[in-house]
Amino acid sequence: MSTALVTGASDGIGLEFCKILAGRGYNLILVSRREALLHQISSDLSTEHGIQCTVIAADLAKPKAAQKLFEATQQKGLQVDFLINNAGLLHNGFFTELDLKAQETMMTVNMLALTSLTHLYANDMTARNSGHILNVASLAAWAPLPNQNIYAATKAFVLSFTQALHNELKAADTGVTATALCPGYTDTRMMDNPDQGAKLTVPAGMLQSAQDVAEQGINACLKGKATVIPGISNRMTAWITHLFPKMTLANIAGRFYRKNMA
């Protein structure tokens, strides 16, 4: 039986990754901060699907969090066949008005922890000549986004890093795949979490289900794709970004975000 490690397993898209993988017979390592909730999910999924779940509570914003998580899985003798770097934070608002510490935390979780975990587990995977890595970026990665400024920049990092890594792993014939998942607006707590500054209101028709997004991410990763953008309209949006200069995109996005953020 293969084992998947999912960060941000307690909610939203991460929880859907866990449900889908449990249904496909994967053992799971569930990672996030809310330990009690992870134990509840672990108990539900192992009872329903007869899989083994391991809970490792971790705050990925803490120094050396990725190294400690890696060591914890080593100590428990757990081999990670599928790594899903999903945990992420969003802060909406005008750059200078947002709390600097909160922005630093977002950069740490969205980029540093993801990169360190990828490095640690990719080393193990390449030594075994097999493994899958799914890094959750965003449609926000494709253009500069005023009022989601740093968030979009962190996701541009994840997209660029993962696409280049995909090429490296393939060219070296490692048997390991890396995929960037770029969801558009997805119906999770992230869309109206009061901790993340201003609320962005988007028409309900623009929201995808977390289950759809997770399913498409897993399938693309198992097929060894470099990038996956769930939904035709999101794929068209990403394609359109190639037709305009970055500052034109920033001006269009700035108008949309200022109008729809409160």
Site residues for ligand NAP per CB under 6 A: 7-8, 10-14, 32-34, 58-61, 86-90, 109, 136, 138, 183, 185-186, 188-191, 193
Q: How far apart are CA 80 and CA 26, in angstroms?
A: 11
Closest to ligand NAP by CB, 7 or 103 = 7
Shortest approach of ligand NAP to residue 83 CB, angstroms? Answer: 14
Closest to ligand NAP by CB, 174 or 178 = 178
Closest to ligand NAP by CB, 110 or 174 = 110
Please confirm, yes or no, whether 151 is among the known catalytic residues.
yes
Among candidates 41, 31, 34, 40, which has minimal Cα distance to 8? 31
Shortest approach of ligand NAP to residue 5 CB, angstroms? Answer: 12
Q: How far apart are CA 92 and CA 94, in angstroms?
A: 7
Shortest approach of ligand NAP to residue 130 CB, angstroms? Answer: 25
Shortest approach of ligand NAP to residue 145 CB, angstroms? Answer: 12
- DSSP letter at 143 equals S
- DSSP letter at 140 equals G
Please tell me which residue in 26, 121, 151, 185 is annotated as part of the active site: 151
CB 134 within 8 A of CB 181: yes
Q: How far apart are CA 115 and CA 85, in angstroms?
A: 9
DSSP assignment of 96-121: GGS-HHHHHHHHIIIIIIHHHHHHHH
Closest to ligand NAP by CB, 126 or 212 = 212
Active site members: 151
